[in-house]
Chain A
Amino acid sequence: MLQPNRTKYRKAFKGRIHGNAKGATSLNFGAFGLKAMEPERVSARQLEAARRAIVRHMKRQGKMWIRVFPDVPVSKKPTEVRMGKGKGTPELWVVRVKPGRILFELDGVSPAVAKEACELGAAKLPIACKFIVRPTEA
């Protein structure tokens, strides 16, 4: 699973996700991609599940790129613990995804395989996504 090697601070504020993505909104590497349509925190585990679903459907062909990195630690308190006494311990890593952000890019497979792979990957994510194709140039 993706996670930072080292961080400056152990814990982060929860934060809120406002507005649409300002960068990473178009395909940079591949011919196909998966674009987020909703704002949400996506965990490293969900990204890994999506990545596996996509890779397995592509059957060792083609190439894929992950355009997001989960670098926000999320803390949780243990069960049956009273409120207070400080913030809980970091439990997982997430990425704050804004609508319009490209999550994955694929290349080297047919459009039909890429679409099916992206649909399987999108099913592992907590947000609505759409399959996008590089615009035709000719």
Chain B
Amino acid sequence: MAEIDKIAAELRPRSGKSSARAARRAGQIPGVLYGGEGPPLAIALNRRELDRELAKGRFSTRLLDLEVDGKVERVLPREVQFHVVTDQPLHADFMRLTAGASVTVMVPVHFVNEVDSPGIKLGGVLNVVRHRVEFRCRADQIPEFITVDLAGRAIGDSIHISAVKLPEGVTPTITDRDFTIATIAAPTLKLEIETPAAAAVTPEAAAAATPAPAAPGKG
């Protein structure tokens, strides 16, 4: 098992938006620690430390040791919220893990042997349907990634979960069907030559094509 990183946090005195905003003003990232046997705790993380862990990748499938006021707990990050414009982290959720706990995690998919795929050689595009797949497994056996072999795949082929060799003890949460992970599609990009007829379509023409609106009904 990979080395477990340690991340420090402070207790926040209160929960709620005012406390979260105060933490952000102080250069910290508000978060919450829940699950296991302890009570849910409002915490604040060091922004730089969290950024460093996020940059390492696989943040949501890696176990961490979270030190809150001197007490170290084994946790699994469950969610990080990001600002929609700046993409800076706004909040982080951590779940306490108990011994032998099983968890549901989203595991990234890696694709190998793209050069051995006749479909991709012919200009096909690997269309990834699921960049991550949800699995249920023990917390200490979370796979880093699952590998999909593209060797011998032609344009039009679909790669389903049944074609992927999964580690022992790891089961997909979707069990009712053999779901698709990726397909090899023909390239859809074309350098189109604009036709005069296509260019002449205006909103006025589209409006003319619309049926008369129904009689307004009130109440």
Q: A63-B187, A100-B85 are in contact. Are A10 and B57 (CB under 8 A)?
A: no
- In B96-111, the 8 Å CB interface with A consists of 108, 110
**CB within 8 Å of B: which A62-79 residues:** 62-64, 73-74
Contact of B189 among A1, A37, A61, A93 (CB under 8 A): A61
The residues in B between 189 and 204 inclusive whose CB is less than 8 angstroms from any CB of A are 189-191, 198, 201-204
A120 at the interface (CB under 8 A from B): no
Give chain A residues whose Cβ lies under 8 Å from the Cβ of B210: 6-8, 10
Interface extent on A, as a size class? 35 or more
Q: Does B151 make an interface contact (CB < 8 A)?
A: no
A137 lies within 8 A of B108 (CB)? yes
Contact B84 A137 (CB under 8 A): no
Contact A73 B207 (CB under 8 A): yes
Stretch in B22-30, B42-50, B121-129, B170-178 with 4+ CB within 8 Å of A: B121-129
Q: Is the CB of A137 within 8 A of B58?
A: yes
**0 or 1 for each of A118-134: is its CB under 8 Å from B? (1 = yes):** 00000000000000101
A58 at the interface (CB under 8 A from B): yes
Q: Is the CB of A60 within 8 A of B57?
A: no
In the complex, the answer to whether A3 meets B201 with C-beta atoms within 8 Å is yes
Query: Contacts of B145 on A, CB cut-off 8 Å?
Result: 137-138
**Cβ of A91 < 8 Å from any Cβ of B?**
yes
Residue on B with the closest CB to A28? B131
Contact with A along B121-141 (1 / 0, CB 8 A): 001011110011000000000
B168 in the interface (beta carbon within 8 A): no
Nearest B residue to A90 via CB reads B203
Q: Which of A1-42 contact B (CB under 8 A)?
A: 1, 3-10, 20-22, 25, 35, 37
A97 to chain B, nearest CB (A): 12
Beta-carbon contact of B84 and A21 below 8 Å: yes
Establish whether residues A107 and B191, one from each chain, have CB atoms under 8 Å apart when the complex forms.
no
- Cβ of B5 within 8 Å of any chain A Cβ, yes or no, is no
Contact of B203 among A37, A58, A63, A73 (CB under 8 A): A73
B128 CB contacts on chain A under 8 angstroms: 107
Give Cα distance in the complex from A79 to B132, angstroms.
Answer: 55
B125 touches A63 (CB 8 A): yes
Contact (A20, B84) CB under 8 Å given A6-B211, A8-B213: yes
* In the assembled complex, B68 has its CB within 8 A of some CB on chain A: no
When distances are taken between beta carbons in the complex, the residues of chain B under 8 Å from A7 are 206-207, 210
Q: Mark B72-111, 1 if CB is under 8 A from A, else 0.
A: 0000000000011101000000000000000000001010
Contact A64 B189 (CB under 8 A): yes
Q: Which chain A residues border B57 with CB–CB below 8 Å?
A: 135-138
Chain B CB within 8 A of A95 CB: no
19 additional contacts, CB 8 Å, given A9-B213, A74-B203, A137-B108? A3-B203, A5-B206, A6-B209, A10-B207, A35-B85, A55-B190, A55-B191, A60-B123, A61-B189, A63-B127, A63-B188, A63-B189, A89-B204, A91-B204, A100-B83, A108-B125, A135-B57, A137-B145, A138-B58
List 3 tightest A-B contacts by C-beta distance, closest first. A100-B84, A137-B108, A90-B203
